[in-house]
């Protein structure tokens, strides 16, 4: 349980802590799962960097999927719509889900893929197959790292759902394994492929917002009904609220802002401070919506309803990052980027460029023709037809397959997967220490300074 001091920090305390972070005062260095003891902040490399390493080039990309619940089934549908993709193997601990996925593949005109459901570790047998180039992982968070590591050690490229890892130690494990095996580990961050996010990225790169100074990102999504539903993500995701107090799901909001700012490409996340509000929402739902004899009434939740983190980058830019899945409010990722010439703000999309009349927000519509991303011009019709999260799911998978087929460097690599996931455990550590600043590990081992674009 948090101390009285940790529970009672004022807004002035929080801002004072943020200033201390900016000055580099009192930094806490952590590198392991909840503790830095015995773990080096920047362990020695086990192989050459994977920065700038292209895929080998594939005429056909042969895919295995681990986890075909709601998310994995959606990803499977997208993959089956992409030319030159063959789904060869399916794994899930629920046999009926594997059978359903197999039927989807057959209906798409492909041979029935091999099914794996014998045990929780049957995924290892899928990874050992010699007819796979890429493994997609869409399973509960705690399985992401062991499955991704198994895939890479078996010589496969990996696409892993978000967050890629939930501890600093596991972030390093992904980086080290990718470098050791020379296989890419790409986090399947679909939001980076949203229509607006890709368009704004083009605008940033064109200099429309001038020199960037600040960003804001969030995952604000009322999931109370889902997480108490008794099925799907409720079977595992609610449990995190009983064990962790911080930002449990940082990547959806943070990924696009990191790309706008060129994180790991000339800049890097440097310092984070974080504080959580009291925990109220889950307990209220639990006590007012569940029957008196429901065993879930015994659960004790520790994760504050709203977690707010402030990140300072190596170039001195700031990012506000928030997480709230238990408050009654509309969905919001914020998606704000601000610079010396203007600002974009999402939900709803709006833009302000220096010199606009009336000093008011403007619609993004006048900018679409010039800045719409080529991927959306090319594949937008198919993406919208499939519909996953507005089409961003299809664009994400299409682009990954395109990179593999054409022998390109992936848009996002294992260093991004680690950097965007690690605010989860860092926020827990900072919040536990009353908002003390913590240093980010440098997963690139200094190579962010030379890398551009």
Statement: residue 432 has pLDDT above 50: yes
**What is the percent of the chain with per-residue pLDDT over 90, rounded to a whole number?**
89
Statement: residue 206 has pLDDT above 90: yes
**Mean pLDDT on 247-262:** 98
Q: Could you give the maximum distance between any two Cα atoms of the chain, in Å?
A: 65
pLDDT at residue 36, rounded to an integer? 37
Statement: residue 9 has pLDDT above 50: no
Confidence bin at 358 (pLDDT 50/70/90):
confident
Distance, CA of 386 to CA of 394 (rounded, Å):
7
Distance, CA of 435 to CA of 387 (rounded, Å):
40
Confidence bin at 139 (pLDDT 50/70/90):
very high
Confidence bin at 349 (pLDDT 50/70/90):
very high
3-class DSSP assignment, residue 213: strand
pLDDT at residue 28, rounded to an integer? 54
**Mean pLDDT on 310-333:** 98
**Mean pLDDT on 343-360:** 94
The region of weakest confidence among 30-44, 135-149, 431-445 is 30-44
Confidence bin at 50 (pLDDT 50/70/90):
very high
**Mean pLDDT on 414-422:** 98
pLDDT at residue 29, rounded to an integer? 54
pLDDT at residue 280, rounded to an integer? 98
**What is the percent of the chain with per-residue pLDDT over 70, rounded to a whole number?**
91
Burial 51-78 (b: 16+ CB within 10 A, else e): bebebeebeebbbbbbbbbebbbbbbbb
pLDDT at residue 18, rounded to an integer? 44
Statement: residue 422 has pLDDT above 60: yes
Q: Across all residues in the chain, what is the average pLDDT? A: 92
**Mean pLDDT on 287-311:** 98
Distance, CA of 308 to CA of 218 (rounded, Å):
9
**Mean pLDDT on 415-419:** 98
CA distances from 289 to 241, 282, 286, 292, 311 (A): 17, 10, 6, 9, 37
pLDDT at residue 27, rounded to an integer? 60
**Mean pLDDT on 18-47:** 54
Distance, CA of 444 to CA of 449 (rounded, Å):
9
Statement: residue 335 has pLDDT above 70: yes
Distance, CA of 424 to CA of 218 (rounded, Å):
13
DSSP summary character for residue 393: H
pLDDT at residue 24, rounded to an integer? 44
**Mean pLDDT on 243-255:** 98
Q: Which helix (H) or strand (E) holds 75?
A: helix 70-80
3-class DSSP assignment, residue 25: coil
Contacts of 266 (CB under 8 A, 6+ apart): 315, 448, 449, 451, 452
Distance, CA of 285 to CA of 356 (rounded, Å):
45
Contact 27, 439 (CB under 8 A): yes
Side-chain half-sphere exposure of 265, counting CA atoms within 13 A: 15
Statement: residue 10 has pLDDT above 50: no
pLDDT at residue 357, rounded to an integer? 82
Tokens of 152: 């890479």
Identify the CA nearest to 415 among candidates 219, 176, 144: 176
CA angle at residue 100 from 94 to 105, to 5 degrees? 130
Confidence bin at 360 (pLDDT 50/70/90):
very high
Statement: residue 370 has pLDDT above 80: yes
pLDDT at residue 125, rounded to an integer? 98
Confidence bin at 8 (pLDDT 50/70/90):
very low
Statement: residue 144 has pLDDT above 50: yes
DSSP summary character for residue 108: T
pLDDT at residue 1, rounded to an integer? 38
Kindly report, residue by residue over 61-95, the tens digit of the pLDDT: 999 999 999 999 999 999 999 999 999 999 999 99
In this prediction the pTM is: 0.92
pLDDT at residue 299, rounded to an integer? 98
């Amino acid at each position: 349980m948090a101390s009285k001091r940790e529970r009672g920090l004022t807004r002035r305390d929080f801002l004072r802590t943020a200033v201390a972070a900016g000055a580099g005062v009192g930094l806490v260095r952590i590198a392991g799962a909840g503790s830095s003891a015995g773990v080096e902040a920047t362990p020695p490399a086990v192989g050459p960097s994977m920065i700038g390493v292209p895929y080998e080039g594939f005429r056909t990309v042969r895919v295995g999927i681990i986890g075909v619940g709601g998310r994995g089934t959606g990803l499977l549908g997208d993959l089956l719509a992409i030319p030159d993709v063959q789904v060869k193997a399916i794994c899930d601990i629920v046999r009926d889900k594997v059978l359903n996925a197999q039927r989807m593949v057959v209906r798409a005109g492909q041979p029935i893929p091999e099914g794996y459901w014998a045990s929780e570790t049957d995924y290892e047998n899928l990874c050992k197959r010699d007819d796979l180039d890429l493994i997609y992982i869409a399973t509960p968070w705690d399985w992401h790292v062991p499955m991704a590591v198994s895939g890479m050690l078996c010589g496969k490229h990996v696409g892993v759902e978000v967050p890629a890892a939930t501890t600093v130690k596991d972030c390093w494990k992904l980086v080290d394994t990718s470098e050791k095996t020379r296989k890419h580990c790409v986090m399947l961050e679909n939001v980076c492929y949203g229509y607006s996010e890709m368009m704004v990225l083009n605008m940033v790169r064109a200099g429309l917002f001038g020199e960037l100074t600040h960003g804001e990102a969030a995952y604000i999504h009322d999931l109370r009904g889902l997480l108490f539903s008794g099925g799907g993500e409720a079977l595992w995701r609610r449990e995190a609220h009983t064990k962790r107090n911080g930002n449990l799901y940082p990547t959806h909001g943070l990924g696009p802002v990191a790309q706008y700012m060129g994180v790991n490409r000339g800049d890097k996340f440097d310092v984070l401070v974080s504080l959580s509000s009291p925990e109220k929402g889950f307990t209220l739902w639990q006590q007012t919506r569940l029957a008196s004899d429901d065993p879930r009434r015994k659960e004790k939740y520790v994760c504050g309803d709203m977690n707010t983190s402030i990140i300072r980058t190596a170039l001195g830019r700031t990012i506000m990052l928030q997480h709230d899945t238990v408050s009654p409010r509309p969905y919001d990722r914020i998606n704000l980027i601000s610079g010396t010439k203007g600002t974009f703000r999402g939900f709803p999309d709006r833009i302000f460029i220096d010199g606009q009349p009336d000093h008011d927000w403007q619609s993004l519509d006048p900018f679409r023709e010039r800045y719409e991303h080529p991927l959306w011009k090319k594949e937008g019709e198919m993406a919208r037809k499939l519909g996953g999260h507005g089409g961003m799911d299809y664009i994400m998978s299409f682009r990954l397959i395109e990179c593999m087929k054409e022998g390109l460097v992936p848009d996002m690599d294992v260093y991004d997967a680690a950097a965007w996931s690690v605010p989860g455990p860092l926020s827990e550590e900072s919040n536990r220490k009353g908002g003390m600043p913590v240093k980010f590990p440098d997963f690139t081992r200094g190579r962010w300074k030379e890398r551009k674009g």
